Structure 1
Amino acid sequence: MSESLGQRPWMTAPETTAVLDALEAAGGPDCARFVGGCVRNTLIGKPVSDLDIATRLTPEAVTAALKAAGLKAVPTGVEHGTVTAVCRGKPFEITTLRRDVATDGRRAVVAFTDDWAEDAQRRDFTLNSLYARRDGTLFDPTGHGVADARAGRIVFVGEAEQRVREDFLRILRFFRFFAWYGTPPPDAAALEACEALRGELKTLSAERVSRELLKLLAADDPRPAVALMARTGVLGEVLPAPIDLARFEGLVAIEDDQLFENDPLLRLAALLPDDQLGAVRFAEALRLSNAERDRLAAALAPAPALKSWMSPREIRRTLYRLGAQPFRDRAKLAWARAPRTAATPQWRGMIALGEGWSPPPFPLTGEDVIAAGAPKGPMVGQVLREVEDWWVDHDFIDDRLSTIEKLKSVVQGMAF
C-alpha cells in the first residue's frame, strides 16, 4: 500500500482546489501531483510555503485550462515547461513532466514526457523527487527519497558527478540543502563530486550564485555546511580571501543565543574580509542590489571601531554618526569576533540601545547661521558642521539657547 501524507490544510485550501480542478478538467484524474518542497517538508514536519505542481499536461494545455477556469496564467518559464497559476493572489508553479535532452552545466534543453519516473530522474536530490496526489498519496520514484528525507541524507539522484555536470549550481544547492535539511555525515559521493567540479562555479551567472548563497546562509544553523564548503575549497570559489570562518561562526552563535533573527546578508559580511572597497567590488560582481551592496560596505568599514566597554554617551555619538543599521551590524560583527563569554551584557546593551534610541533633530538650520552673521555660501555648511560636532560631543544637549550661544562664538571666531 502506498504511503500517504494525509490531508493537509494546504492541499485542501480553496486556491489549491481551484487550480487542481482546472488541471484535472483538462487532463483527467491524477494528471497533476504536488512535487518537491511542499511534499518533502510535509513529510519531515517542516513548514510549507511554496506549492509546486508537476503535470502531464503541456504548458499550452496548462495555460488553456487555467484560463478556462478563470485563473491567471503567467508564462514564467514556458521553454522549460513552467507556467505559474495565480489564484486569489497565491502563486502555484506548474511544470510539465520533462527529461533533459542536452545540458552544458548552466542550462538544459528539455523534452516533455508523461512519465513520472522519467521526470524524477532529472531532479537533483532524492528528497526533492517526491510526488503526492491531492488525496495525500505519496510517490517515491527513486525508491530512496522518503528514507533520505527522514534521515537527513542529501543524495543526488543517480550518479552524483553526472547530476553536477548537468548544472554546476547543484554544487551550491547541495550545501544549501545540507544546511537546511541535512544530518551529518554528508554523502561521500556528493561531496566528492562537488569538490572535484568546484572550479566550474565560475561559469555560472552571478545572480544564480548570489541567490543560492543567501538562501544557504538563511538556514537556522549553516555552520556545518559552510565549514564543509571551506574544507572542500568550494567556499573559496565564491568568496574573496581571507575568509573569516571564526567571525561567521561567532555571529551565528550570537543570533542563536540571543534570539536575533537569522540575517543572511550580515552572515555574508561576517565571512568577508574587513575591506570596504573589496566588499563593494564583491557585491557588484555578485550582482547584489544597491541596498545590499551599501549595507555590506557600511558593515565592513574600518572606523570607528566598536568596543564592548563604550559608555552610553560614546555609543550614542557613534550611533548618530553611523546610522542605526550600520551601527547594529558593526556591533554584532565586533561581538562575533570577541571571546564567546566576554562582555555579553555590554554587547547586548549596546545593540539594544542601537535598536531603541532615536537621535534628536539638530536644532539649527542654515538660516540660524546667517542670522548669527555668517555670509551666505559654503561657510554656512562649515559652521553648521562645527556646531553639530560640539552638540554631539555634548551628548545632544537639549538646550537651543546654549546651541545658539555656541553658534555665535563659532561665527565670531571665523574670518570671513
Structure 2
Amino acid sequence: MLGRIISPLLIRRPHLIWTRNLLTMKLKTCEFQSLLSEGLNAVAGLFEKHQFELRIAGGAVRDLLSGKRPEDVDFATTATPEEMKRMFQAAGIRMINNKGEKHGTITARLHNENFEVTTLRVDVQTDGRHAEVEFTKDWEKDAERRDLTINSMFLGLDGTLYDYYNGYEDLQNRKVRFVGSAEQRIQEDYLRILRYFRFYGRVVPEPGDHEPETLDAIRDNASGLAGISGERIWVELKKMVVGSHAGHLLELMYDLGLVQYMGLPPDGDIEEMKRVWQNAKDSSPKPMTVLAAFFHRPEEVDKMDLRLKVSKEEKTLAQFLVKHRRELHKCPDNPDSLTPFTDFIIDSRELDSKLKVCELLKYQGEARLLAELTDWSTPRFPVSGHDLRRLGVTSGKEIGSTLQELRDVWKRSRYQMDKEELLSHVHH
C-alpha cells in the first residue's frame, strides 16, 4: 500500500503544516538525498546567491513521495529565462538545448549533469494543443495550470514539500484527479485525457475506481483528441498499454468514444483484447502486441499508422500478429513442441522473426513455450552458394534450387546435419 510507503518519509508529524491552500512537510529519504549531487548543490547555491527560489517540480516529486528515485528531474524557479542566462553566463556554466526558452526552460550543464529549469508560468491562452504562457513568481499559480494533483507538487532542496492541491493526500489514497475543474484542465490540452488513463494505471489499485464527473468530462471532450498529433497520442498510449489495468482502460476508452480519434478500429474486438491482455500482461508484451487484438484485418493496421505514425517495426509487428495469430500455433498432437515456431523462424530468414514469434506466444498466452523459445538460438544453415560452386554447380538457377533442396534435407534432420553431410546430397 502506498500509505505504508509514504508515512515513514515524514521526519516527524508536527512538521506537517497546513495553511489555507498549502500543505508543507519535510522529506528525508535516501532517494531524495541521492539527488543532492555536487552539480545540483552548485546550481542551488547559485540561485540562492541571486535570491531566486529553486524547487524540484512535478513527476519527480510524485516519484520521491512514492519511494522511487526519479529517472528525470525537472526544476522550477522564480527566475526568468533572461535572469537565468545572465546568472549562468556570469558563473561560467554552459547552457544547452535552449529550444524551450520561449516556454521558460533553460538547461544548464554542470559536472556531467543536465539541469532543466523552468520559470514559473501561467497559461494566458490555450487552444487544446498549445499554450501561450506568461511568467510569474506565484508558485500556486504554476501548480494550478498543471494537469493532475499528484503532478502539481514542488519540493524544496531542503526537503520541504509544497502541495497546493491535495496531491500528497491523493497519492496516499491512490487517487488520480485533475487540478480543479477536469473539464477546464482537459480543454487546455486534450492530451490530458490520455495522461489521466496512463497515471490511473500507475497509481490506482483497482480497475474501476473513477470519479463519474471525471469520466463525464472526458466523454464530453473526446473530440478534442482529433486535433492532437498522432505522435503525441502514441507516446501516451504506449505507456498506458503496458501499465496496470490496461484491459479495463482500453475498454473504457471505447465506451467513452475516444478511439475514433486515435486510429483504432471503431469495431475493435474488445473481448479479444481483454483475453490477450490477460494472457500477456505478466510477460512484458510490447504495446502493439496488446493493441493488435483490436484489428480484424491487416489493412486496419495501415489506417492506425496513418493516424499515429508508429515506427516501421511496430507496424510490421501488428500486421504479423493479425496475420499469423490463428495459423501459427502449437501442434495439437505435440503441444510441448516448439517445432511449428522454430520452423517458421528458420523458413522466414528474417532477422526479427524470432522477436515477432516471441510476441505471438505472449499474445497466445503460451508462457512455457515462450520461455523455451527465448533460450533457443537460431541455427545457421551451413551451406552457401560458394560451397556449391566449388563442387562444380555454376548456374545461378541451379545453385538456388539446390540450396533450397539442401534446406529441406537440413530441416528434416531437425537442423542437425553439418556442411559435409549436406553436401553429400548434391548430385552433379
User: Aligning the two structures, in what range does the TM-score lie when normalised by the shorter sequence?
Assistant: 0.7 to 0.9
Give the corresponding residue for 2:270: 245
Give the corresponding residue for 1:315: 341
Deviation at 1:371, TM superposition (A): 4.2
Q: State whether residues 280 and 363 of structure 2, in contact with CA within 8 Å, keep that contact through their aligned partners in structure 1.
A: no
Q: State whether residues 38 and 111 of structure 2, in contact with CA within 8 Å, keep that contact through their aligned partners in structure 1.
A: no
Aligned partner letter, 1:317: D
Aligned partner letter, 2:328: A
Give the corresponding residue for 1:21: 45
Q: Tell me the secondary structure at the aligned position of residue 274 of structure 2.
A: helix
Among 80, 83, 88, which residue is 1:58 paired with? 80
Distance 1:52 1:361, change over 3 A: same
Distance 1:288 1:21, change over 3 A: farther
Deviation at 1:247, TM superposition (A): 4.0
Distance 1:162 1:348, change over 3 A: closer
Report 1:250-289 matches (<5 A): 250-255=275-280, 257=282, 260-261=283-284, 263-269=286-292, 271-289=293-311
Q: State whether residues 179 and 224 of structure 1, in contact with CA within 8 Å, keep that contact through their aligned partners in structure 2.
A: no
Deviation at 1:69, TM superposition (A): 5.0
Deviations 1:176-221 (A, max 9, x none): 1111113542122221111111122121111111111112123244
Among 414, 419, 428, which residue is 1:395 paired with? 414
Among 186, 191, 211, which residue is 2:215 paired with? 191
Q: Tell me the secondary structure at the aligned position of residue 122 of structure 2.
A: strand
Aligned partner letter, 1:253: Q
Q: Tell me the secondary structure at the aligned position of residue 406 of structure 1.
A: coil
- Deviates further, 241-250 or 170-179: 241-250
Give the corresponding residue for 1:339: none
Give the corresponding residue for 1:163: 185
TM-score, normalised with respect to structure 2 = 0.83
User: Matches of 2:418 and 2:135 in 1, distance apart?
Assistant: 75
Give the corresponding residue for 2:364: 334
Q: Tell me the secondary structure at the aligned position of residue 55 of structure 2.
A: strand
Q: State whether residues 59 and 82 of structure 1, in contact with CA within 8 Å, keep that contact through their aligned partners in structure 2.
A: yes
The answer on 1:107 being equivalent to 2:133 is: no
Among 191, 208, 231, which residue is 2:232 paired with? 208
Structure 2 regions of 5+ residues with no counterpart? 1-16, 18-23
Give the corresponding residue for 1:341: none
Structure 1 regions of 5+ residues with no counterpart? 336-346
User: Matches of 2:388 and 2:303 in 1, distance apart?
Assistant: 40
User: Matches of 1:149 and 1:163 in 2, distance apart?
Assistant: 19
Q: State whether residues 276 and 364 of structure 2, in contact with CA within 8 Å, keep that contact through their aligned partners in structure 1.
A: no
RMSD between aligned residues: 2.5
Aligned partner letter, 1:131: F
Q: Tell me the secondary structure at the aligned position of residue 284 of structure 2.
A: coil
Among 97, 107, 110, which residue is 1:74 paired with? 97
Among 312, 315, 318, which residue is 1:296 paired with? 318
Give the corresponding residue for 2:204: 182
Q: State whether residues 284 and 293 of structure 1, in contact with CA within 8 Å, keep that contact through their aligned partners in structure 2.
A: no
Aligned partner letter, 1:157: V
Q: State whether residues 154 and 187 of structure 1, in contact with CA within 8 Å, keep that contact through their aligned partners in structure 2.
A: no
Q: State whether residues 221 and 252 of structure 1, in contact with CA within 8 Å, keep that contact through their aligned partners in structure 2.
A: no
- Deviates further, 52-61 or 301-310: 301-310
Deviations 1:66-114 (A, max 9, x none): 3425244321411211223334444333211111111111111111111
Aligned partner letter, 2:36: T
Give the corresponding residue for 2:354: 324
Aligned partner letter, 1:53: F
Q: How many residues align?
A: 392
Among 109, 115, 119, which residue is 1:96 paired with? 119
Give the corresponding residue for 2:404: 385
Aligned partner letter, 2:225: L
User: Matches of 2:107 and 2:247 in 1, distance apart?
Assistant: 34
Aligned partner letter, 2:339: R
User: Matches of 2:201 and 2:38 in 1, distance apart?
Assistant: 33
User: Matches of 2:347 and 2:307 in 1, distance apart?
Assistant: 29
- Deviates further, 294-303 or 121-130: 294-303
Deviations 1:144-172 (A, max 9, x none): 22212222222112221121111111111
Q: State whether residues 63 and 73 of structure 1, in contact with CA within 8 Å, keep that contact through their aligned partners in structure 2.
A: no
Aligned partner letter, 1:161: E
Give the corresponding residue for 2:62: 40
Aligned partner letter, 1:205: S
Distance 1:298 1:120, change over 3 A: same
